[in-house]
Amino acid sequence: MDIRELGSIRKEIDELDRQLANLIEKRMELVNLVAGYKKNHNIGVLDSSREKEVINNVLSQVKNPELKESISSIFQSIMDISKEYQKKKISINSGIKKYALIGEKLSHSMSPKIHELYFKKANIEATYELLELSRDEIPHVLTELSLKGYSGLNVTIPYKTEIMPFLDKLSDEAMRIGAVNTINLDGNFTGFNTDYFGFGRALSFYGAEVKGKKCAVLGSGGATRAVVSYLEDNGAELISIVSRNADEAANRYPGKPTINISEFKAEGYDIVINTTPVGMYPNTDKSPINREQLIGAGFVMDLIYNPSETLLMKYAQELGIPNCNGLYMLVAQAMSSQEIWQGKKIDDEIINQIYREISHEN
């Protein structure tokens, strides 16, 4: 190749660069329209499935296999720049508050709908996103999201305990339970556990009194701690832990009577609470205990909300035992998070309205 050929190639590259600049400008104008739509409909910026679809479509047009990796990197950069542009348009320039749920698998989460209903009722301009994270992102995520303008986060499995070392402060109930599901990013990174309050509000909604009552908690995992802490704080006379491994449960909850789940009988218990995932979609044909074991219970609460009626609840219904699922608790814990982020009490009637709307949709 001589100098004249090099000059010709460079001119061709320059012309292609001008065409690319025009195409990228048009693309960003469309991104701007997308940002406007997301702002008006309280939709989060991140859409991982859409990103993958775009990259795959682009790579399907590349004929030279040697260039696929480089072209993939270029378009990933374009996608990243587009996301940052959208975030600026949605939040920084408009003053919209940003919140998110972080976890590992979030595609079926009802949290965005619940929080969006609250934003609408409270006339708050805000977005609520689902951010799926890998474990290696946890150490840096709080700082990164704070810098990007997020005001608060919810946390779900499996990161409720893993996020704790990176917090500046814990509320009393979060410290006692050993898990957080809500983080305030304004100022210090402070962790809270609103499952505690959501559970209590759900019991009140259904008229289940705790003080002086005998309670059996099915399960001994993370969700159990919030339930047990609330029952302790509100004067339950007896709290029995019912588990597949009673010895292990005894170590986790010292001082509490523990019962192997196969030997458990609900007779004499005022409240039975299921904190296990047994019976959750898609395994809806299962129950942590059988129908005969449930005989004699005064009230049954299943923290599962999908399906809306679990097999355990069907047993309770057949036996004439008042019962409920965990949907009200889900709504109530979300509103407890909002109380932390917004710095004000939310009226119970607002929570009830959101619960009724969510129930109607599901």
Equal CATH topology for 97-196+331-361 and 207-321: yes
Q: Say if residues 128 and 145 touch (Cβ distance below 8 Å).
A: no
Just list the catalytic residues: 160
Nearest to 125 by CA among 103, 151, 153: 151
> What percent of the chain has a predicted confidence (pLDDT) above 90?
68
pLDDT greater at residue 236 or residue 35? 236
Q: Say what the pLDDT of residue 47 is.
A: 67
- In this structure, are strands 214-218 and 238-243 parallel, antiparallel, or unpaired? parallel
pLDDT digits (tens, 9 = 90+) for 296-350: 999 999 999 999 999 999 999 999 999 999 999 999 999 999 999 999 999 999 9
Q: Say what the pLDDT of residue 9 is.
A: 85
Instruction: Say whether pLDDT at 145 is over 60.
Output: yes
Q: Say what the pLDDT of residue 93 is.
A: 45
Q: Say what the pLDDT of residue 94 is.
A: 54
Q: Say if residues 241 and 269 touch (Cβ distance below 8 Å).
A: no
In sequence order, the 6+-apart residues with CB closer than 8 A to the CB of 155 are 101, 102, 103, 163, 180, 181, 182, 183
DSSP 261: G
Q: Can you give the residue ranges of every domain in the chain? A: 47-81, 97-196+331-361, 207-321
pLDDT digits (tens, 9 = 90+) for 230-240: 999 999 999 99
pLDDT digits (tens, 9 = 90+) for 78-102: 888 887 877 776 655 456 899 999 9
Q: Say if residues 326 and 302 touch (Cβ distance below 8 Å).
A: yes
| Buried-state track 221-245, b at ≥16 Cβ within 10 A, e below 16 | ebbbbbbbbbbeeeebeebbbbbee
Q: Which residues pair with 101 in a beta bridge?
A: 130, 154
DSSP 347: P
pLDDT digits (tens, 9 = 90+) for 94-139: 568 999 999 998 888 899 999 999 999 999 999 999 999 999 999 9
User: What's the number of CA atoms in the CB half-sphere (13 Å) around residue 152?
Assistant: 25
Mean pLDDT over the full length of the chain:
91
Q: Say if residues 55 and 74 touch (Cβ distance below 8 Å).
A: no
CA dist 48 and 301 (Å) reads 35
Instruction: Say whether pLDDT at 4 is over 90.
Output: no
pLDDT digits (tens, 9 = 90+) for 183-229: 999 878 999 999 999 999 999 999 999 999 999 999 998 789 999 99
Q: Say what the pLDDT of residue 91 is.
A: 56
Nearest to 32 by CA among 54, 24, 131: 24
Q: Say what the pLDDT of residue 126 is.
A: 95
Q: Say what the pLDDT of residue 7 is.
A: 77
Q: What CATH number has the domain spanning 207-321?
A: 3.40.50.720
Q: Say if residues 337 and 351 touch (Cβ distance below 8 Å).
A: no
Instruction: Say whether pLDDT at 259 is over 50.
Output: yes
Count of CB atoms situated within 10 Å of the CB of 290:
12
The top-level CATH class assigned to 97-196+331-361 is: alpha beta
Give residue 89's identity as a one-letter amino acid code. Answer: K
Q: Say what the pLDDT of residue 301 is.
A: 98
Count of CB atoms situated within 10 Å of the CB of 53:
11
